[in-house]
Structure 1
């Protein structure tokens, strides 16, 4: 088996090739996707152009091919004997690629057949099963460290048992769907994924010579080719977009982040890199759970002047449940929604997404500006994440 430094050099070179290949392949498939009617309407453009959809499948396939080529190089027969072959590590990589491949396929099926939300929640759980099985066989570590302040009650660590596997399965569900619901404008899905991937890359480099080096090397094997294909896709998905990435890319990216978080043993750190997505998910819950009416599409609306404004949902307070009324009251109290009252019963408020609340706070703006502001927020939250992970974590854990 080649050394870690040399293997990273190889995967870095392959990632550059994957970037170039993706950049060349995307234009070749645009007309093919349009001919197959795999397309969507860009509603945030006055001309309402028809763009090819689901280009996450192109980038995902190039990512998988890159990793498949890398595997025989990493585990070349000439560099390692049969007796010393790292079976556990090899199985972990194959299981990870299997989970990502399954999620890519299921995401493409979702784009084609436009499945319901209950299926979207089931897909990541199904795709993560090979990874969880391998984790159970090879690692089976289900203990979590307790903060210093609580160790006199719970001890140094607690074994969560089956609950830890449920947590990891839910992590896969969250990562895939959190990116999927935080979307709706050109460049946002790929842009946020690239920033999260860069955050993971920096974290892996910082921890490279630490005690968990092996886990971070494994993470780099996946994050580098992902950055290669995603950076190329971003060029075509940035405003004005020439292609749509579809649910395929969101599921592919989310599963990849879940995979490296689980096998790299830094799921809590990964969630810190998802701060905007966590806020958007929690903020969206009243509508996702239908405590407040939820329209099929909640993305911002294009005005006649060519800028975006928040989209709204109109409903009667008598129609929603008690929980819905409580959620509505809390959101209104903390100025997290903009409310228009038609009378004492009927109200209109912005849809509960980070995109809409950004437009409520800063006012109507151009689509490219909205994407830029949201990606800047992602970068700021990455800085907060590293602050929590290092200076603040030392107050609670021995780091």
Structure 2
């Protein structure tokens, strides 16, 4: 409701002959996308969870990527309005990043502080706001690539196609201290089924490494695709 920016997208050069336009105004469809993005970001951190340090850790990784992206775009642009939008994003993402880093110190395995819905909703909505009002909502979605994958894996259970228990956590073996993946459709369980059993700490590190990989892919895509719009 607060968004008063453009609703247009620039068509990549290779697609212009097929679309017939260089700039396409999506109108209400673009605003619908942003509304859905806000809902997704708010809930995606909350459902990609269940391990000590995972919720705060993924927020730190994404917030760091957003901050780097904003600095890069301010340096690359000469349009004051565009620079101001990314500066506004920096003003909001810096407090989120620093407070999440402090929280991560206590939320890391073995955790002495648990984040719960209060933090995950706050973190997701903050990143949605900076992405929408900073005018990089498409890039933001790519930063959330692991969360998108987790949502797609979870979708059949979320809509009730398969039985969806209240907590879709992996099973814990107290004798070995290892986690085993269940049949539930979450990225946490998928990682355990794909790569074998692991301790909670090592599994969290793998998932955060995958988050870093997703953010790097986003930067690579923007660098490669930038020439398509000139």
Counterpart Cα distance in 2 of 1:255 and 1:291: 28
Asked whether 1:215 is paired with 2:85, we answer yes
Higher Cα Rg: structure 1 or 2?
1
TM normalised by structure 2 equals 0.93
* Aligned equivalent of 1:278: 148
* Aligned equivalent of 2:207: 374
* Aligned equivalent of 1:65: none
Q: Which runs of 5+ in 1 are unaligned?
A: 1-131, 312-349
* Aligned equivalent of 2:173: 303
Counterpart Cα distance in 1 of 2:33 and 2:141: 12
* Aligned equivalent of 1:3: none
The 8 Å contact of residues 196 and 273 in structure 1, kept in 2 or not, is answered as yes
1:211-360 to 2 correspondences below 5 Å: 211=79, 212-304=82-174, 305-311=176-182, 350-360=183-193
SS of the residue 1:158 aligns to = strand
Counterpart Cα distance in 2 of 1:394 and 1:261: 19
Counterpart Cα distance in 2 of 1:375 and 1:135: 31
* Aligned equivalent of 2:32: 166
Asked whether 1:149 is paired with 2:14, we answer yes
Asked whether 1:182 is paired with 2:48, we answer yes
- 1:60-103 CA-to-partner distances (Å, cap 9, x unmatched) read xxxxxxxxxxxxxxxxxxxxxxxxxxxxxxxxxxxxxxxxxxxx
- 1:256-281 CA-to-partner distances (Å, cap 9, x unmatched) read 11101111110111111111111111
Greater RCO, CA 8 A, separation 6+: 2
- 1:223-260 CA-to-partner distances (Å, cap 9, x unmatched) read 11111111000011100011110111111111111101
Asked whether 1:396 is paired with 2:223, we answer no
Q: 1:364 aligns with which of 197, 204, 213?
A: 197
Q: Give the superposition deviation at 1:395.
A: 5.0
Q: Give the superposition deviation at 1:142.
A: 1.2
Q: Which runs of 5+ in 2 are unaligned?
A: none
TM normalised by structure 1 equals 0.55
- 1:203-241 CA-to-partner distances (Å, cap 9, x unmatched) read 111112213211111111011111111100001110001
The 8 Å contact of residues 146 and 154 in structure 1, kept in 2 or not, is answered as no
The 8 Å contact of residues 180 and 189 in structure 1, kept in 2 or not, is answered as yes
1:63-74 to 2 correspondences below 5 Å: none
SS of the residue 1:207 aligns to = helix
Q: Give the superposition deviation at 1:292.
A: 1.7
SS of the residue 2:71 aligns to = helix
Counterpart Cα distance in 2 of 1:358 and 1:282: 15
Aligned-pair Cα RMSD in Å: 1.2
Q: Give the superposition deviation at 1:154.
A: 4.0
